[in-house]
C-alpha cells in the first residue's frame, strides 16, 4: 500500500514541464536504503515471528513481551523500505513523491505518532472524515467522539475483522485520554516527554497484539498467556533479534540525519564510483538476505 496521493497534485506533476529535481546520490541512497530495510531487516524479523500470533500458548512470557515490539519493528522497516524505494523510483521518473513515513517511533504522543505513520492516510482521514464530522468546532465532547470515529474508520480501513475494529477503538480512546490529560497545563520537560514516549510506546505495542492476531480469541489468548504463561523456555529471544531491534530503534532516531549525510557523501563521488558503490551495496545486501523474501505487509491493506 503506497501513499494516498491527491489527483490534482499527481496530474500536475505528470503534465508539468518542470519535473521533480533530484541528485544521483539521493536516488542511490533511497534505493539501497529501501532494499536494506526490506530485504534484510524486515525479512529477518518476519522469520522470527513464526506462530507467535497464531499459537501464543507455545511461547514464554519474554517471547510474548517482545512480540509486539518485534512486530512493530517489522512493520516499521517494511513500510520504511517500501517508502524509500517508492520515493527513489518516483523521483527518478520526474514525479514529486508524497511523503508518507517520517520515523514514527520517535513520537512522544499518539497525535505525533499518527502525523508520522502513514501520513497520507492520516491526512485523508482528517480531510474527509474528521473535518466533515465537525472536527473540533462543536465542543470538547463532540471532538472526542469525532476522534474515536476517525480511528475506528482507520481500523476498518486496514481490515473488516473485529481485531481491526478493536485496534481502531483502542487508539481512538487512548487519543481522547491523551487529549484530556493535555488540558492540564504542564510545562514540557525531559521527564514529561519521556512519560509521553513510554505512554505512546505502550499503547502502540499493545495495539499490535490485536492488529497482528487473526481473530479476537487469539488476541485474548495472547494477553492471557502473557499474564499466565505455561512455557518457560524462550523460543524467539536471541542476540541477533535484540541487535536487529536495537538497530531499528537506532535508525528511528538517527536514520534521517544519517541518510542526509550519506546523500551528501555519494553526491561528491564521480559517476563511475557512484555506480560501483551502488552495485557493491546491492551485491552485499543480496548475499546477506534470505532466499525467499516475504511480500510487503502493507500490500494486504
Per-residue pLDDT reduced to its tens digit, 62-112: 999 999 999 999 999 998 998 899 888 888 887 777 778 889 999 999 999
The confidence band for 266, taking pLDDT boundaries of 50, 70 and 90, is very high
The confidence band for 301, taking pLDDT boundaries of 50, 70 and 90, is low
The confidence band for 278, taking pLDDT boundaries of 50, 70 and 90, is very high
pLDDT the model gives residue 97: 78
> How far is it, in rounded angstroms, from Cα 136 to Cα 250?
36
Tens digit of each residue's pLDDT (9 = 90 or more) over 196-248: 999 999 999 999 999 999 999 999 999 999 999 989 889 888 999 999 999 99
pLDDT the model gives residue 259: 93
Residue 298 predicted with pLDDT over 80: no
pLDDT the model gives residue 11: 63
pTM for the whole thing?
0.89
Tell which wins on pLDDT, 218 or 189. Answer: 218
Tens digit of each residue's pLDDT (9 = 90 or more) over 129-168: 999 999 999 899 999 999 999 999 999 998 878 999 999 9
pLDDT the model gives residue 14: 66
The confidence band for 19, taking pLDDT boundaries of 50, 70 and 90, is low
Tell which wins on pLDDT, 189 or 222. Answer: 222
When the pLDDT of each residue in the chain is averaged and rounded to a whole number, the result is 89
Mean pLDDT of 35-52: 91
Q: 133 — phi, psi (to 5°)? A: -75, -15
Tell which wins on pLDDT, 159 or 25. Answer: 25
**Cell (9 digits) for 239:** 542476540
Is 158 in the active site?
A: yes
Residue 31 predicted with pLDDT over 80: yes
pLDDT the model gives residue 188: 77
pLDDT the model gives residue 2: 53
Active-site residue (options: 38, 80, 91, 158): 158
pLDDT the model gives residue 228: 93
pLDDT the model gives residue 276: 96
Instruction: Name the percent of the chain lying above pLDDT 70.
Output: 91
3-state secondary structure the chain: CCCCCCHHHHHHHHHCCCCCCCCHHHHHHHHHHHHHHHHHHHHHHHHHHCCCCCCHHHCEHHHHHHHHHHHHHHHHHHHHHHHHHHHHHHHHCCCCCCCCECCHHHCCCHHHHHHHECHHHHHHHHHHHHCCCCCCCCCHHHHHHHHHHHHHHHHHHHCCCHHHHHHHHHHHHHHHHHHHHHCCCCCCCHHHHHHHHHHHHHHHHHHHHHHHCCCHHHHHHHHHHHHCCCECCCCCCCHHHHHHHHHHHHHHHHHHHHHHHHHHHHHCCCHHHHHHHHHHHHHHHHHHCCCCCCCCHHHHC
Amino acid at each position: 500500500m503506497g501513499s494516498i496521493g491527491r489527483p490534482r497534485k499527481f496530474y500536475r506533476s505528470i503534465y508539468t514541464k518542470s519535473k521533480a529535481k533530484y541528485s544521483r546520490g539521493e536516488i542511490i541512497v533511497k534505493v539501497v536504503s529501501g532494499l536494506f530495510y526490506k530485504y534484510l531487516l524486515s525479512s529477518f524479523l518476519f522469520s522470527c515471528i513464526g506462530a507467535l500470533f497464531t499459537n501464543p500458548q507455545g511461547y514464554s512470557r519474554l517471547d510474548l513481551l517482545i512480540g509486539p515490539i518485534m512486530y512493530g519493528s517489522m512493520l516499521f522497516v517494511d513500510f520504511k523500505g517500501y517508502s524509500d524505494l517508492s520515493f527513489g523510483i518516483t523521483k527518478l521518473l520526474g514525479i514529486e513523491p508524497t511523503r508518507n513515513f517520517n520515523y514514527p517511533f520517535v513520537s512522544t504522543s499518539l497525535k505525533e505518532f499518527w502525523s508520522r505513520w502513514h501520513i497520507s492516510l492520516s491526512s485523508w482521514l482528517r480531510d474527509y472524515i474528521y473535518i466533515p464530522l465537525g472536527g473540533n468546532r462543536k465542543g470538547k465532547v463532540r471532538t472526542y467522539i469525532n476522534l474515536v470515529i476517525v480511528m475506528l474508520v482507520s481500523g476498518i480501513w486496514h481490515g473488516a475483522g473485529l481485531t481491526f475494529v478493536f485496534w481502531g477503538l483502542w487508539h481512538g480512546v487512548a487519543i481522547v485520554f491523551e487529549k484530556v490529560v493535555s488540558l492540564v497545563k504542564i510545562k514540557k520537560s525531559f521527564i514529561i516527554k519521556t512519560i509521553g514516549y513510554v505512554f505512546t510506546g505502550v499503547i502502540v505495542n499493545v495495539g499490535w497484539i490485536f492488529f497482528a492476531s487473526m481473530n479476537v480469541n487469539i488476541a485474548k489468548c495472547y494477553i492471557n498467556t502473557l499474564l499466565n504463561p505455561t512455557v518457560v523456555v524462550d523460543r524467539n529471544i536471541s542476540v541477533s533479534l535484540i541487535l536487529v531491534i536495537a538497530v531499528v530503534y537506532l535508525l528511528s532516531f538517527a536514520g534521517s540525519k544519517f541518510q542526509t549525510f550519506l546523500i551528501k557523501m555519494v553526491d561528491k563521488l564521480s559517476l563511475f564510483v557512484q555506480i560501483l558503490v551502488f552495485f557493491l551495496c546491492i551485491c552485499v545486501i543480496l548475499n546477506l538476505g534470505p532466499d525467499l523474501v516475504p511480500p510487503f505487509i502493507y500490500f494486504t491493506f
